[in-house]
Chains A and B, each alone.
Chain A
């Protein structure tokens, strides 16, 4: 299908390891959002891109978290020196970017840090 694709679907990391999570948005979508969802909680906003520009990174919990979207399409969320509290589902969403356009979400990457 032509939905938002995230990979890997599951990731197990040892504490201290670096991880990279990939998001392929819907083709032509200008806006891209990353969310973190802990077990039993609603998704929490991490960061937002408009094309390649990162316009809002207010939700990134620490400087270990870094996101990029160099060509304005695929995005990568990188977590350095992972810790157990980073265990969560990481969701990516995209939209056309116009006012009032709905966000389409991927199925997420479930990260488990042991």
Chain B
């Protein structure tokens, strides 16, 4: 059973502040790591697909880094806005074929306080 852990479980951040949270995953047989954002009453939406150690991806105010050797990824949000309130899920793929099953963490629930 693969262990994908996310911390913290929940987070309250003042609007305008920056924040980050962590996804830990097995460091062996790494293929890819995905980040998804899941807003209430919507379906999860892909943010990033990361495959290379040292990868850094950015989408607006959100960025992510990847360390496959030590088995962790950080998601950063700069200058939080109310629309950033969501659950952020990471998902790990252990395979070299791609398109295999993703193992999800339990998510970090982020609430932005106006």
Whether A associates with B in a native complex is: no
- Interface positions of B (Cβ within 8 A of A): none
